[in-house]
Amino acid sequence: MSGRKSSGCFRNRLPVPRCPFGSLSEGAPPSQPRRRQLNSSEPEPQCHKETRMAVTSVKSVVQSYLEGVDWGLGQLREARAEVREVSRAMKLVRMESSKNAESINALDTLKETSINHCQLLAAVTNLPHLHSVRSMVMETERLVESRRLLEAHVRLMELEHWRDEVFLQLHGLRGPFQTLNSEDDTLVHNYFSGVGRLVEALAKELWAVVGSVLTLSLQNPTPFVSAVRIVEREEALDQYFLEERQPVSRHSRPMPPGRPRCWRERFFKVLEEAVAARFRSASYLHTRGPGLAGHLSALQHSIMGDLATVRNLLEQCVPPHYHLTKAYLHACHRCLQAHLGQITGWELQSGEIFAVLNWVLHIYNSSEMMGNPILAAHLDLKEMGPLISQDGLEQLQNKYVQCVRKSLSEWMQKALEVECTDWQRDQEPDIDHEGCYHTTLPTIITQMLEENARVALMISESLRDQTIQMGLYEMEILLTRFRDAIIEFGKEHRKDSIPNSTKFYLHYLLACISNCIILKTSTETLHQQVLSRQSVRFSRIPPGPLTALDRAVRKACRLVMDQLLLDLQPYLQGLLSHSWLVQGDDISMVCGVLERHCELYGRTHSPCRERLQEECQWLTVVEYVRALMQKKLICRSDEERQLLAQQMVQDAQQLRDHFQSMEVDGSVSEVNPTALIPVLADLIKLKDPGMLTLEVSGLISKYPDISEEHVSVLLDIRGDVPRDVRGAVMCLLEQCSPPLPLGYRPIFPDILVPASSMPFCLPTAKCA
């Protein structure tokens, strides 16, 4: 019955194709007409053929569906039979289980008895060991105190093994998923508390041996070998217990107390602490000041000595995988970084900074230390980094330059004070191998600058450049003070009421000029060293020591010329006067003064020697023409004009001969200001006043800087110029204003013309 229901249900789910001619169950099929049609001789219509093929296809599909339904029904019947069989078996099992429940309860007593038996067995087994724990702890302590470390460690391992076995047995009795209760845990820990103290005592002695290995290994390396063996044993035990716990399972062994100890890692830390202690052991009492270089040198010898001990002795006492030399070098490098960082934090002076920079940049990386090819396989400086960072090095270099600058400024100031004191001496300045005056100032300054540059070059070229730039800047400041000192020297000389109180005033002025020339040569040499490198880093470019030198030289030359004018003044007053016209010996006195001065000018270096001689000629001619412009001599006749002009020409020739005789090495100067005097004499001795216009025109072509006032005074000195001629000359001067030729040095602006004493101006001439 159920099979029929299932068949019907399954049949309802199958999609049955519908016949195009209606349901097959509707009435009887028209078989007779169709059969008669097939049996007839007439051909079967195409529509009948297609209908027959469709009916056949539908029958095949329906048959296939029916076969599948039948197979499914068979499988369901087999499954129902198997389920019934399993149900009967489970029922039997439940019945048997209920019968044996009472017998299973009796096994709990047996289980409890078994646990108690195991506990008693463990107690009996461990009782001898437990009884001897205290005595073994005391014996192990004596071994540790006597530094019999290997024997002590063997006893310690045995004690730890007993303790671990007790914990393991208690852990096994309580089951893999249970832990010890607090009472049992406390009991075991208290009983084996001496083991923990032994571990601490052994570790203390062990690290004491490792910490002192660099000192004591040369005498007896045996304790160090024992320490390494103990470390390796502990490392092996750590690895064993870690492997026992991986992967964690229900049968994994619990980690003993205090594990893992990681004593190998601690070994290298203690070694690094020992290296740091070696650095701290160096005395800090003499580290500051000049003692810093000695301290760094002592560090170098200590490091290399310890390194030799590590490579030649200790490396043989440890396993190869320790790489002890590399570990020591890395520890040493890190300790040096910290130590130098502490040193650079002090307020260092220039000498101390130089010692640090030289040690870090040159000594440490040299073949005498870490640059040794033998150490290349153990040390990678790029990996560890520099001892001092690049920013730290730049800060040190800047601090060094500032310290040197402060010291240099103080020394320059002291040298200038000594120089000013020397100017007051009652003796000539020193004379060099060229016969020129000089003092100690340029030698001191040059040596200071060159020495600082040489010392800085020992560090780096960039530091040398910074030092030179700083030195040039300080020299510019010094030369400004030097010029002020020269000015003050001249003021004190002029206001002194005692004649010749500063007997060698002019000599020291000439020495100052020579000093400036020497300093200029040194400055150019130093500046050229800086220009030879393009990458010059300095916060401020010096404003120009050469400019300051030139200003100081010009001021000194001006004071020399002022002294010459002061010495010439008594003889210049009598020039171009009636007494001069009668006697004519004043110019000889002038030449005598010029000779003494020009002889002193030869005590200066070129080109200032030539410059002073040229200025001497220029000053003499200017003062000579200025005396003429004073109109102390007004000609009344042609004979006086001829005599005046003749005397002026003789004076000009005498001055020219004198100046030529004073030329150095027979060289003839291109500057010849004495040529002006004969030209003015020609204007005075001209007999025909009508030719004055032409003569003045020639004068203007030679000296375009001459003014109307100068020409007017010359016409006054002649004393015979008609009013119309004067007017024509003045008109020529107004119309003619030629430009100054290239390289021409004006002379008439230096020649002052006295103001006219006339209360009014004539209509044909301008006011003087």
The amino acid occupying position 678 is P
The per-residue DSSP string of 79-148 comes to HHHHHHHHHHHHHHHHHHHHHHHHHHHTHHHHHHHHHHHHHHHHHHHHHHHHHTHHHHHHHHHHHHHTT-
Determine what percent of the chain falls in helix, strand and coil, rounding each to the nearest 5. 70, 0, 25
Residue 567 lies in a domain: no
156 with 198: CB under 8 angstroms?
yes
609 with 435: CB under 8 angstroms?
no
Q: Is 41 buried (19+), middle (13-18) or exposed (0-12) by CB count in 10 A?
A: exposed
What's the rounded Cα separation, in Å, for the pair 622 and 506? 21
478 with 445: CB under 8 angstroms?
yes
For position 537, which CATH number holds?
A: 1.10.357.50
Which run of H or E residues covers position 189?
A: helix 182-191
What's the rounded Cα separation, in Å, for the pair 502 and 499? 8
What's the rounded Cα separation, in Å, for the pair 440 and 430? 9
Within 8 A by CB and 6+ apart from 404, the residues are 350, 452, 456, 467, 470
The amino acid occupying position 276 is A
Residue 32 lies in a domain: no
What's the rounded Cα separation, in Å, for the pair 680 and 710? 11
| Beta-strand pair 437-438/430-431 | antiparallel
Within 8 A by CB and 6+ apart from 351, the residues are 289, 290, 292, 293
What's the rounded Cα separation, in Å, for the pair 273 and 294? 23
Q: What angle do CA 556, 560, 561 make, to 5 degrees?
A: 120
Instruction: Write out residues in the chain with pLDDT < 70, as ranges.
Output: 1-47, 101-106, 115, 118-133, 169-185, 187-189, 192, 245-254, 281-289, 381, 496-502, 531-543, 584, 663-671, 756-768
Contacts 24+ apart (CB under 8 A), 102-106: none
For position 579, which CATH number holds?
A: 1.10.357
Q: Residue with structure tokens 């070229």?
A: 461
Contacts 24+ apart (CB under 8 A), 763-766: 764/723, 764/724, 764/726, 764/727, 764/730, 765/712, 765/723, 765/726, 765/727, 765/730, 766/708, 766/709, 766/712, 766/730
Q: Is 762 buried (19+), middle (13-18) or exposed (0-12) by CB count in 10 A?
A: exposed
* Same domain assignment for residues 96 and 197: no
Domain that residue 153 falls in: 110-266
Per the structure block, which two tokens stand in for 576?
Answer: 């171009």
456 with 466: CB under 8 angstroms?
yes
Buried b (16+ CB within 10 A) or exposed e, 423-451: beeeeebeeeeeebbbbebbbbbbebbbe
Per the structure block, which two tokens stand in for 735?
Answer: 């119309």
Pick from 419, 570, 435: nearest CA to 489:
419
Pick from 323, 221, 341, 223: nearest CA to 279:
341
* Same domain assignment for residues 586 and 679: yes
Residue 437's beta-bridge partner residues?
Answer: 431
534 with 457: CB under 8 angstroms?
no
Within 8 A by CB and 6+ apart from 196, the residues are 257, 258
What's the rounded Cα separation, in Å, for the pair 710 and 496? 36
Conformation bin of residue 667: beta by default, left when phi > 0, alpha when psi is -120 to 50? beta
Q: CB-side exposure of 363: number of CA atoms within 13 Å?
A: 16
* Same domain assignment for residues 130 and 191: yes
pLDDT at site 623: 92
What's the rounded Cα separation, in Å, for the pair 327 and 333? 10
Residue 734 lies in a domain: yes
pLDDT at site 37: 42
pLDDT at site 354: 92
Residue 759 lies in a domain: no
If one counts every other C-beta atom within 10 angstroms of the C-beta of residue 153, the result is 24
- Of the candidates 58, 85, 105, which is a domain's last residue? 105
Residue 124 lies in a domain: yes
> What is residue 282's three-state secondary structure?
coil
* Same domain assignment for residues 745 and 618: yes
* Same domain assignment for residues 197 and 152: yes
* Same domain assignment for residues 517 and 404: yes
Q: CB-side exposure of 455: number of CA atoms within 13 Å?
A: 18
* Same domain assignment for residues 446 and 546: yes
Longest dimension (CA), the chain: 189
* Same domain assignment for residues 254 and 311: no
360: which DSSP letter?
I
Q: Is 727 buried (19+), middle (13-18) or exposed (0-12) by CB count in 10 A?
A: middle
* Same domain assignment for residues 553 and 650: no
Q: Residue with structure tokens 């169709």?
A: 34
CA–chain centroid gap for 686, Å, is 80
Residue 334 lies in a domain: yes
Pick from 673, 744, 753: nearest CA to 711:
753
- Of the candidates 232, 266, 300, which is a domain's last residue? 266
* Same domain assignment for residues 206 and 133: yes
Residue 438's beta-bridge partner residues?
Answer: 430
Contacts 24+ apart (CB under 8 A), 425-433: 425/504, 426/503, 426/504, 427/504, 428/504, 428/507, 429/504, 429/507, 429/508, 429/510, 429/511, 430/511, 431/603, 432/514
Q: Write out 563-577 in H/E/C secondary structure.
A: HHHHHHHHHHCCCCC
* Same domain assignment for residues 188 and 310: no
Residue 24 lies in a domain: no
- Of the candidates 388, 410, 426, which is a domain's last residue? 388
Which run of H or E residues covers position 438?
A: strand 437-438
* Same domain assignment for residues 431 and 297: no
Residue 764 lies in a domain: no
Rg (CA), the chain: 61
What's the rounded Cα separation, in Å, for the pair 331 and 338? 11
Q: How many domains does the chain have?
A: 5
